[in-house]
Structure 1
């Protein structure tokens, strides 16, 4: 099974989603590990920035299909708690006390795209694949996707990706405001860490600055946690419906 790996160096925490046999698909256990790693980062005053990445050259393919049960009763207690563990991991990443950067190589799909959007900034490979793709497989979006995408790329791009399942590459992500920079694949993680090194020089200031940044800029509309719950019931319905069709 996969794991979440935490490394710390020079004031930067590197959080790696490590499950390469399924292109870094997330399990509920990994969601809980991700929350624990975030707690560790927040408790360390020497950390002033964090980079989130995937192992083995890809970011995250979404939910680990080996554990995914779309036809199961999504309101059953264990199933509900397990899906919630993944969703709450996104929210926890978004609440890290330090500025965060997603280093996106390969693919960021479904829940994996949500994880990338949970960060403050994204550096993407020019040939990265970014796809929400929920409707394409008969599911309602989850994890607060519309809130996450809307606060970066705006309404038009969020509609294209969330309602019409349009896939984009890294260059297009920069054009629509979904990412800050698109660079060759081999330079993604180096670029992310170079940017993270700036705020990491003064962790106390970085933490105060990012708190102000998020408080002042939002996201607007309903809150992120409310968006997760707002989407969840309909996604559960779509999972059951998909399995029975």
Structure 2
């Protein structure tokens, strides 16, 4: 296990901690004094941390979390107060880096995910919610239009009615309610530990296969007919059976089956 900050140890403004456990990179947005608020600097650090994880061939999955007690309590309001489109896009780069990550990603939501923090959670493939998790869009009450692709992500994650309840009507969801409406996969006692356990399963798969499968899922999600999905999958599946990873795992499975079929003495 290795841990390193994305900035120098003397930097107390905020950082993104990078920790590697097995083949899982855990990226922790860390500025607890500001409840891990997202600004252009933090977004750049997050982008760099995701890029570093993807570039590491030994990493097979990524967990995104926040320094307790929050996941991410939104954008930096001081910076937002005079933000122009260019600055807003710079903040969005952090969400987009997570959303576009080719590796499997899990959000370990350990506390409030507010505004930009909800964006960060939605950018991940899967979300797990700890006991202190709260999901609060909070854009309209601040007089702020949603950004960062929030409306698109929310609609795809929970459908039009729940997206409207969160966005237009100010519904705030705890972990149990977020699970009920499908915003998170599960409510768990320890979001980080549960995310690490789940991410390890993804990371144990051949890395190229996981990347290809995630890319395929993104393509087939927009298709209208199963037969079209078959045509997308058939080439990738045929390629996978020619790989050493498949042959080795198939041989191991066949040997295990053969051993289980042997009579006991």
Q: Describe the superposition over 1:26-61 as per-residue Cα deviations: whole angstroms up to 9, x where unpaired.
A: 121111111111211111121111000001232000
- 2:172 is matched with 167
Separation of aligned partners in 1, 2:137 and 2:120: 11
TM-score normalised according to structure 1 size: 0.82
Say if 1:4 and 1:81 are closer, same or farther in 2 by CA, change over 3 A: farther
1:156-207 deviations in Å (ceiling 9; x for gaps): 00000011111111111111111100012xx111111000000111222221
Report what 1:42 is aligned to: 54
Moved over 6 A (4+): none
Give 1:215's aligned residue.
219
1:204 paired residue among 181, 198, 208: 208
Superimposed CA distance per residue, residues 73-99 of structure 1 (whole angstroms, 9 cap, x where no aligned partner):
x44xxxx43321111211110111110
Which of 16, 38, 51 in structure 2 is aligned with 1:26? 38
Change in Cα spacing, 1:218 to 1:129, as seen in structure 2 (3 Å) is farther
* Structure 2 SS opposite 1:139: coil
Q: 5 Å matches for 1:159-198?
A: 159-184=164-189, 187-198=190-201
The structural deviation recorded for 1:64 is 2.2
Q: Is the 8 A contact 1:104 1:125 kept in 2?
A: yes
Does 1:17 pair with 2:29? yes
Give 1 or 2 for the bigger CA radius of gyration: 2
Q: Among 124, 129, 150, which residue is 1:124 paired with?
A: 129
Distance apart, 1:212 and its partner CA: 1.4
The aligned residue for residue 79 of structure 2 is 68
User: Is the 8 Å Cα contact of residues 45 and 204 (structure 1) preserved in structure 2?
Assistant: no
Structure 2 segments unaligned to the other structure (5+ residues): 1-12, 225-265
Q: Secondary structure at the match of 1:195?
A: helix
Alpha-carbon separation, structure 1, partners of 2:155 and 2:223: 8
Aligned position for 1:234: none
1:61/1:111 contact within 8 Å kept: yes
- Cα distance change, pair 219–179 in 1 and its aligned pair in 2 (3 A): farther
- Structure 1 residue 127 displacement after superposition: 3.9
Tell me how many residue pairs correspond in the alignment.
211
- Report the CA distance between 1:145 and its aligned residue: 1.0
The C-alpha deviation readout for 1:196-237, integer Å capped at 9, x for no partner, is 0001112222212211122222599xxxxxxxxxxxxxxxxx
Alpha-carbon separation, structure 2, partners of 1:61 and 1:130:
10
Whether the 8 Å CA contact 1:134–1:141 is kept in 2: the answer is: yes
Q: TM-score, normalised by structure 2?
A: 0.76
User: In the aligned structure 1, how far is the partner of 2:103 from the partner of 2:221?
Assistant: 16
Question: Is structure 2 residue 68 aligned with structure 1 residue 56?
Answer: yes
Name stretches of at least 5 consecutive residues in structure 1 with no aligned partner. 221-245
Task: Point out which structure has higher relative CO (alpha carbons under 8 A, 6+ apart).
Answer: 1
How far apart are the structure 2 equivalents of 1:105 and 1:157?
22
